[in-house]
Amino acid sequence: MLEAKRNDEEPSDYLYAMLDNMLMELEKQEKKKK
């Protein structure tokens, strides 16, 4: 994934959206545990 980013001059909005969704899901799971 990092190599793909280096090859592209502009970061992919799609990739950032996917990462954002993953982070949000992780936060939800953490809140459920507590």
Residues of the chain with pLDDT under 50: none
The gap from C-alpha 14 to its chain's centroid, in whole angstroms, comes to 9
Question: What is the predicted pLDDT for the residue at 5?
Answer: 56
Instruction: Output the DSSP codes for the chain.
Output: -HHHHHH-SSPPHHHHHHHHHHHHHHHHHHHHH-
Determine the Cα–Cα distance for residues 33 and 1; give it in Å rounded to an integer. Answer: 30
Range of the domain at 13: 2-33
Whether pTM exceeds 0.85: no
Determine the Cα–Cα distance for residues 3 and 20; give it in Å rounded to an integer. Answer: 20
Question: What is the predicted pLDDT for the residue at 13?
Answer: 86
Contact criterion met (CB below 8 Å) for 7 and 1: no
Question: What is the predicted pLDDT for the residue at 10?
Answer: 65
**Total domain count for the chain?**
1
